[in-house]
A = this chain, B = another copy of it.
Amino acid sequence: MDERAALDLVGGLVGRAGDDAAVVDGTVVTTDMLHESTDFPAGTTRYTAGWRAVGASLSDVAAMGAEATAAVAVYGAPAFDAADLEAFLSGARDVCERVDAEYVGGDLDGHDEFTVASTALGETDDPVTRAGATADDVVCVTGGLGRSAAALRAFDAGDVDRANDLFQFTPRVAAGRALAPYATAMMDSSDGLARSLHQLAAASDCTIDVDEAAVPAVDAVADYATDDADAREMTVFFGEDFELVCTLPDDEIATARDACPVELTVVGDVTGDTAAASSDGAVTVGGDALPDRGFTHGD
């Protein structure tokens, strides 16, 4: 069973699973585990690891349209080096500070592989879920995509400083708060844009057509992509980016864009409900199927 099938199983057994975060009486909680072999390439500093692990959880809070309040993490490593641990904590605290949350501690665990389990908390009276997109909404993304794909290329190329910088993303908490009053559905792009859109379409029971030419890429994509097809792979499929993907009514896009503290780009339209889906599937590009593939942990 791969991770997607397993997640479907969990969704069937745990009523509140299936969105970016659970919401219990207005408190948002979300947890992630990252580890060296799959998430922290050689060259990733412990500062970056702390930033990125805690940031990934804060991104899930952002995706619910919630205020971020606090985060904790478990630092698992074969040995506890003071400089490493201090750097990790600095990164964890700095990413919390970036989104006005507080890093409040966690735990240590002796672990063969460097592993971080992070948990973020938030508050919202009105969470935005993945379900709620309706026909005639537009589909938007914040910021630019391809950041993590570019970071991996930078690590491979030995551009370690640039790679670490790219790996330290800003969780879109402020954007999520700004978009919450307008967004009909929202999630983060951590599984890649294509897969995220498939997930959003499935949760909202709608069809989406994407304008691939409009998909915004971070500048670093152009520096590392070998050609247009490669750039597309980096921005549309690769994933591990932490932008917000949301739907909102066409007539609110201008207002939402004014409110949003980062670039908000329209990348497609909700074209109908699932009953109207063609045999090409729920998500298309100019009418052709967009493959449902991207980043699956546990592959």
Contact = CB atoms under 8 A, between A and B. Distances in A.
A228 interface: no
A69 interface: yes
A85 B35 contact: no
A83 B32 CA distance: 22
Nearest to A25: B69
When all copies of this chain in the complex are counted, the total is 2
Contacts of A33: 74, 76, 107, 109, 111, 115, 117
A85 B9 contact: yes
A104 B297 contact: no
Nearest to A19: B105
B80 A30 contact: no
Contacts of A106: 10, 17, 31
A15 to B, nearest CB: 8
A25 B121 CA distance: 12
A255 interface: no
B1 A81 contact: yes
A86 B29 contact: no
A110 B69 contact: no
A70 B25 CA distance: 10
Nearest to A103: B14
Given A24-B104, A29-B121, A35 B111 contact: yes
A35 B109 contact: yes
Contact of A119 (B31, B108, B297, B299): B31
Interface in A229-255: none
A3 B73 CA distance: 15
